[in-house]
Structure 1
């Protein structure tokens, strides 16, 4: 009963806010029912089309999420995660510790001025105490 009362109150409030529109609808219903019926059918088809579009988009979204979840699960099954060390190009990881370097493109010209400073080449050297810590 409360639902019926709420719907009726909403309709009355709509009529109070839009009296000219409601009068126009009433006149169309009385004097040109076919025009009103055509407008009503257009509005009905438009609303049903929007509802259908929303449902289709929701289904497509759910399907995409399902596919992405399946791909991530497959990656975890194959190698322990998406960042497990294998490049994303689909190449299989080599032996542990093996390093491969691929040249992708020519090196760009440096934009640093010659007055910036000198390049110092250095090399890390382990001391005896660091070697004992690593054991």
Structure 2
């Protein structure tokens, strides 16, 4: 019973906010019911189409996420094993120890030494 009164209240609020639209709908219902039926069917098909489109897009999104997850599992190993090049059960040697490894054979300096000028400067402090 509460849902019926909520629907009626919402309908009355719509009529109060849009009296001209409701008047046009009543005139259409009385004078051209076939036209009103066509408009109602169009709105119904439009809403159903949007619903189907939403379901299809949701399924496509879930499928794509599943494929990405499977790709990551293949790349990093299943269940965290071999994640980032080490086994899940392994620990580093000591906590707080930092190791820096060279990962590529890139040269130290990428710009030739004769490029640019050296500008000597001195830091000054303004005391105001």
Normalised by the size of structure 2, how large is the TM-score?
A: 0.65
Contiguous gaps of at least 5 residues in structure 2: 87-100, 120-128
Contiguous gaps of at least 5 residues in structure 1: 86-96, 118-135
What's the CA shift for 1:43?
0.8
What's the CA shift for 1:100?
7.1
What's the CA shift for 1:71?
1.2
- Counterparts in 2 of 1:13 and 1:101: CA distance versus 1, 3 Å: same
- Counterparts in 2 of 1:109 and 1:42: CA distance versus 1, 3 Å: farther
Matched, 1:15 2:15: yes
- Counterparts in 2 of 1:24 and 1:68: CA distance versus 1, 3 Å: same
CA distance in 1, matches of 2:23, 2:3: 26
Question: What's the C-alpha RMSD, in Å, of the aligned pairs?
Answer: 3.0
Normalised by the size of structure 1, how large is the TM-score?
A: 0.62
Number of residue pairs aligned between Structure 1 and Structure 2: 99
What's the CA shift for 1:76?
2.2
Note the alpha carbon deviations across 1:79-124, whole angstroms, 9 max, x for none: 723x439xxxxxxxxxxx9x8759xxxx7889x51x227xxxxxxx
Matched, 1:37 2:41: no
Matched, 1:116 2:124: no
SS of the equivalent of 1:58 reads helix
Runs of 4+ in 1 over 6 A off after TM superposition: 107-110
CA distance in 2, matches of 1:8, 1:39: 22
